[in-house]
Structure 1
Amino acid sequence: MSHAFKPILESPCIILREKKPNKIQKRRRIALTLTLLPRYSPPQPLFAHFHPSSSAASSPISVLQNPKTLGKGKMNLLRNAIKSRVSVLTVKPTHALPSFLRESPRRFSTESDQQQPPSPDASVDAFIDSASKGFVYGKLFGATKYTMKSDIVSLLEGCNLTPDDIKVSYNRNFFPVAMMLRFPSPGAFSNATRTIRRFDRLYRLDRVNTGDWDIVTPYNGKTVVLQGLPRSAGFEDIERFLSGCDYDSTSIQSFTSTRPGSTNVFRLTTVQFTSHIQAMNACISKNRKVCLNNQVSVRVLY
């Protein structure tokens, strides 16, 4: 067996493999390796030499059709860039999105959406709201002749009262007895009751009917009452006393009255003005002035 393998080990092929390359062979291998390596070119913009206004012959497609116009390295770069862009455009972005983001966006429309049936809680709330609607009337005691509607609105803040929801009930001598209040709901009346309780005995609020509200005449701050005019004063004397004021001369009315527990008769005269501002102006300018040697007091009725 040893003699059979001896010619193989001494064959010329095995001897050539074991020989080391000489200097000439090394140089040839280095030169061959350098020729196979790609030439270095500085980086340039891929489409720097392309311009939108250029002809079709200078487009990327025409360049690909005519490979002689570019070098081999630039040709490879151009081909790789076009392939990468095509691959980006062909990717479906919806694969990476959740299902609720892939739905088509809703468009604005004037058509009403389908109404869903109301829940039991919503129907109960609607019933309570409908039952709570309706005016509630109250009678407030404790106001003086100098109390204005704005004072009551500030006193009962949070009860949704307006000056139109307040009337002043006067007696025969035009002294305020009570103030009639109209609340928009029972809840507002309950809030007013709790507020009045904080003032102990200064005020009292009672609940009244609609008829008690209707019989009260509203003056709305446009009527002035003159108290202290002599009984002998005529219409011309009243006009002379109110000179410089904007009032309705046809609305002048006079009354005679007596104070409780006294037999002295005194005269009261009401005059209606065009606005609340004009009435307040007359009250400020004419109060405590003299008419036929009598001092007259002027007060605005609400």
Structure 2
Amino acid sequence: MGFFSKLKESLAKTRQVFVEKIETLLTGYRKPDEEFFEELEEALIQADVGVTTSMQLVEKLQKICKERRIEDASLLKDVLAEEVARILGEEDIELNLKGQPFSVILVVGVNGVGKTTTIGKLAWFLKSQGKKVILAAGDTFRAAAIDQLEIWGNRAGVEVIKHQEGSDPAAVAFDAMQAARARKADVIIIDTAGRLHNKVNLMEELKKIKRVIQREVPDAPHEVLLVLDATTGQNAVNQAKIFGEAAGVTGIVLTKLDGTAKGGVIISIKNELKVPVKFIGIGEKMEDLRPFAPQEFASALFDRSDAKEM
């Protein structure tokens, strides 16, 4: 199965809630009047596009309707697809891997979002591109996190630097930096604790890790990736706002898109947070963590070429 087919398949539940509901609405109205736009806004909110983004989309569609003198509501599907594609962006945004002597990626996110799995898959992705990768088990708060990272490191075929549970995460990061320098690694990926109950602790811990790694590589970290679970819908946006303030997030990884009808949240994330989505998770296999291609995503979301078979 090609990537587009896999992506389209993974978005089936989201498409059902997002596109099919809207199609039903569009065919139910002859003219895009006030009542139509109210129902469209409601449909977008139910599809986890978020209140703010849904309102903005509807306002834009109303404006386009007037400008283009659109009298047939069914013509708005393509206009909506254009607007969603515009929000998602034109270009694929790659990881910043220009660090010298190596690049440092900090990975943050609450427990349960697939953070450890994402790190393992990201390590595999980078290794498949010819990069030498080292993982740092910086989530020392949970013993399971260290064990899980080691399992994923073995699967990806990369080295994992770890200390015992309860150790100082900054000390783990320091050892990983030393190991990367000694082994001539290209990339270090540092796991961090997934705690949000006390934002002050989170900020202080991340500041300490950053101080330690900046002694070795002054412009590090080169990426701070926030892992979000698509199945949590708008809650993911709230998490992103908190982590954005605390961690200086440079990119988002949206996981579990294949198992949810709430994939519309990616539109809200892009529109409201202004932080690029860099990777998406569309399955459980190693190769199912993929760089986010916004235009391909928009095409897959609105593609109904097999509608008659469904």
Under TM normalisation by the shorter chain, which class is it?
under 0.3
> By percentage of residues, which structure has more strand?
1
- Which of structures 1 and 2 has the larger relative contact order (alpha carbons within 8 angstroms, sep 6+)? 2
> By percentage of residues, which structure has more helix?
2
Which of these two proteins has the greater Rg computed from alpha carbons? 1
